[in-house]
C-alpha cells in the first residue's frame, strides 16, 4: 500500500484528524512528548483506495530546539512515505516549530498536502489562506473535529498517492533487476552487501553514513548489474529505542515495494525468531519473488546442521517453493549461488502460462481429481485464465464455490506443473450461477 505520513506539532489536531481519516474512534495516544505509542501505523481507505497512514510524533520546540528523537523518527517516516500531510492550526497560524517542519519537508521533496485544521466554519477560511505563505500551495481548510472539508482533502490525497493497477501486476520499469536484501538486525545484511559489492569500502559500523535518504547500489553479479534497493538503511544502523521495530518494518516494507525480488536473509545462529517470521511474511505478502538465504553457515558443525535442516523443513513448509541458498557472508562461501537463485525466482515471477495450456492442465486435473460432491452439488471449473504475472495470478470461472482444500490442491498442482519456483502465486474464483 502507498504510505501517507502525517506530521505536525502537538495540539494542531493531528490525532483528531487521524481518527477522522480512519472513520472510527481509534484509541490514538495523545501527542504528549515521551508517551510511548503502541501503534503509529493504520490501514486507511478512501473511495476504495487503500493506503497506510503513518502518524509521527508531535514536533516540540524546546530550549534546545526541536526534540531530536521525535524529529528523527518523523523524518524517517517521511522518507518512507509516498506523500505527507502537514497539519497546521489555522487559528494560530504558522509558528516557528511549523516552519522548522516545513524546512525539513522541503529537503525531502515529497508531495505535501498542507492541511489547515480547525477551520470550523466559513468565517475561519481566511485564517487558512494565510498559510499559502508556507510554500506548499493551496492550504486545505478542514475541521478534523466536525469533518468539514476532509472529504475534499482525502480526494486530493488519493489523487497524489501512487496508483495501483488491479490487473497489471507490478510494473517492470526496465533496467537492472531490483533486489531488496531484508532481514532482522545482525543477520548479516551489510556483511553480505560488502561481500557482493566486492570490497569492504563501506564499513559495518552503526555510525557510518550521514544521509538518511534511501540509497540504491548497483552491484555486478554473474556478469550483470543488479540494483540493490534502499541499501542506506542496511549500511547504516539506525538505533532508536522507541519504535525501532516499527521503523525497521517500515524500511523493509518500503524496500519490498521498490524491489522485484527479495533476498530474505536468515542466520543459523538464531533461526526463525519472531522478527524473522514477520519479515518473511512481509515478503510473501508483498507479492515479490523470494530467495531464502541462510547466512553464517560457517558456524555450523555436522550435528547442528542436521538438526537445522529438519527445523527448516518444518518451520518453513509454507515457503517450500522459495529457492534456498546456504551462505557465509563472512567467508564468501556460496555467494555465487545467489544469482542462479535470483534468476529462477524472477523467471517464475515474470512467467505467463498461455490460456490454452492452462485449460488443458485444468481439464486433465479435474478429470483425474474431481471436486468432492457437497450437498448433492459438485462445482465445476468452466475455464481458467492467468490474469497477471509479477506475481502470477490466476482466475478460475466456476459454477459454485470451491472448497478451500480443493483450491489449495489446484494451487499446488499449478506450482508443480509449471514450476513456479520462487514466486507466490494466487488463485481466485469467479462464480457464475
Ligand atoms: P546486519 O545488521 O544484518 O547488517 O548484520 P551485519 O552484517 O552487521 O552482521 C552482524 C554480525 O554478524 C557482525 O558481527 C558480522 O561480522 C557477523 N556476521 C555476518 N555474516 C556472518 C557469517 O557468515 N558468519 C559469521 N560467523 N558471522 C557473520
ipTM: 0.91
Counting from 1 in the atom list of ligand 1, the atom nearest the Cα of 295 is: 23
pLDDT, residue 264, reads: 98
Co-location of 341 and 401 in the same domain: no
Q: How far apart are CA 195 and CA 175, in angstroms?
A: 23
Which ranges of the chain have pLDDT less than 50? 27-39, 164-168, 200-213
pLDDT, residue 201, reads: 42
Tens digit of pLDDT for each residue in 246-284?
A: 777 888 988 998 899 999 999 988 878 889 999 999 999
Q: Find the farthest-apart pair of alpha carbons in the chain and give their distance in angstroms, rounded.
A: 77
| pTM for this predicted structure | 0.64
- Could you tell me which residues are beta bridge partners of residue 116? 88, 141
Give the residue from 350, 372, 389 where a domain finishes: 350
The sign of the CA dihedral 388, 393, 396, 400 is: negative
CB of 208 sitting under 6 A from ligand 1: no
Co-location of 60 and 128 in the same domain: yes
pLDDT, residue 408, reads: 93
Co-location of 181 and 304 in the same domain: yes
CB of 234 sitting under 6 A from ligand 1: yes
Counting from 1 in the atom list of ligand 1, the atom nearest the Cα of 265 is: 3
Co-location of 346 and 370 in the same domain: no
Tens digit of pLDDT for each residue in 112-133?
A: 999 999 998 888 788 888 888 8
Residues 6+ away with beta carbon under 8 Å from 428:
393, 394, 395, 396
User: What is the residue with the minimal CA distance to atom 11 of ligand 1?
Assistant: 186
CATH classification at residue 31: 3.40.50.300
- 401 assigned to some structural domain: yes
Structural contact between residues 5 and 85, judged by C-beta atoms closer than 8 angstroms: yes
Structural domain that includes position 150: 3-160
**Residue 94 exposure: Cα atoms within 13 Å on the Cβ side:** 19
Co-location of 301 and 398 in the same domain: no
Co-location of 187 and 335 in the same domain: yes
CB of 296 sitting under 6 A from ligand 1: yes
For the chain, the residue count is 433
Calculated CA dihedral for residues 305, 313, 246, 213, nearest 10 degrees:
70
Co-location of 96 and 216 in the same domain: no
> How many structural domains compose the chain?
3
CATH classification at residue 409: 3.30.300.20
Q: Is 186 marked as binding a ligand?
A: yes
Amino acid at each position: 500500500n502507498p504510505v501517507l505520513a502525517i506530521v505536525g506539532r502537538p495540539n494542531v489536531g493531528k490525532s483528531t484528524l487521524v481518527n477522522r481519516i480512519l472513520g472510527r474512534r481509534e484509541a490514538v495516544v495523545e501527542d504528549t512528548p515521551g508517551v510511548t505509542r503502541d501503534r503509529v501505523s493504520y490501514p486507511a481507505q478512501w473511495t476504495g483506495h487503500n493506503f497506510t497512514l503513518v502518524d509521527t510524533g508531535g514536533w516540540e520546540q524546546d530550549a534546545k530546539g526541536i526534540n531530536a528523537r521525535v524529529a528523527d523518527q518523523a523524518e524517517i517516516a517521511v522518507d518512507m512515505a509516498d506523500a505527507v500531510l502537514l497539519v497546521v492550526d489555522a487559528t494560530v497560524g504558522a509558528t516557528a516549530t511549523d516552519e522548522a517542519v516545513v524546512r525539513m519537508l522541503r529537503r525531502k521533496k515529497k508531495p505535501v498536502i498542507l492541511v489547515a485544521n480547525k477551520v470550523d466554519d466559513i468565517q475561519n477560511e481566511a485564517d487558512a489562506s494565510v498559510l499559502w505563505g508556507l510554500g506548499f500551495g493551496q492550504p486545505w481548510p478542514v475541521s478534523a473535529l466536525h469533518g468539514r472539508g476532509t472529504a475534499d482533502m482525502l480526494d486530493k490525497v488519493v489523487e497524489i498517492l501512487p496508483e495501483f493497477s488491479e490487473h497489471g501486476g507490478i510494473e517492470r520499469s526496465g533496467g537492472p533487476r531490483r533486489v531488496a536484501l531484508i532481514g532482522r538486525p545482525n543477520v548479516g545484511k551489510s556483511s553480505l552487501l560488502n561481500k557482493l559489492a566486492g570490497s569492504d569500502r563501506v564499513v559495518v559500523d552503526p555510525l557510518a553514513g550521514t544521509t538518511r535518504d534511501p540509497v540504491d547500489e548497483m552491484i555486478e553479479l554473474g556478469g550483470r548489474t543488479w540494483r540493490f534497493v534502499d541499501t542506506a538503511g542496511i549500511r547504516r544502523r539506525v538505533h532508536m529505542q522507541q519504535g525501532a521495530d516499527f521503523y525497521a518494518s517500515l524500511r523493509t516494507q518500503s524496500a519490498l515495494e521498490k524491489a522485484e525480488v527479495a533476498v530474505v536473509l536468515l542466520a543459523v545462529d538464531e533461526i526463525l525468531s519472531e522478527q524473522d517470521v514477520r519479515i518473511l511474511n512481509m515478503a510473501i505478502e508483498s507479492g515479490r519473488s523470494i530467495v531464502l538465504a541462510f547466512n553464517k553457515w560457517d558456524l555450523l558443525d555436522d550435528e547442528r546442521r542436521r538438526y537445522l535442516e529438519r527445523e527448516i523443513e518444518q518451520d518453513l513448509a509454507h515457503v517450500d517453493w522459495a529457492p534456498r541458498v546456504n551462505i557465509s557472508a563472512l567467508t564468501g562461501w556460496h555467494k555465487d549461488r545467489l544469482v542462479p537463485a535470483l534468476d529462477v525466482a524472477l523467471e517464475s515471477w515474470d512467467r505467463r502460462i498461455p490460456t490454452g495450456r492452462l485449460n488443458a492442465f485444468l481439464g486433465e486435473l479435474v478429470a483425474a481429481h474431481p471436486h468432492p460432491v457437497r450437498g448433492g452439488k459438485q462445482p465445476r471449473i468452466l475455464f481458467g485464465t492467468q490474469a497477471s504475472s509479477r506475481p502470477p495470478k490466476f482466475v478460475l470461472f466456476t459454477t459454485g464455490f470451491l472448497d478451500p482444500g480443493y483450491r489449495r490442491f489446484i494451487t499446488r498442482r499449478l506450482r508443480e506443473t509449471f514450476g513456479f519456483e520462487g514466486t507466490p502465486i494466487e488463485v481466485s474464483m469467479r462464480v457464475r450461477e
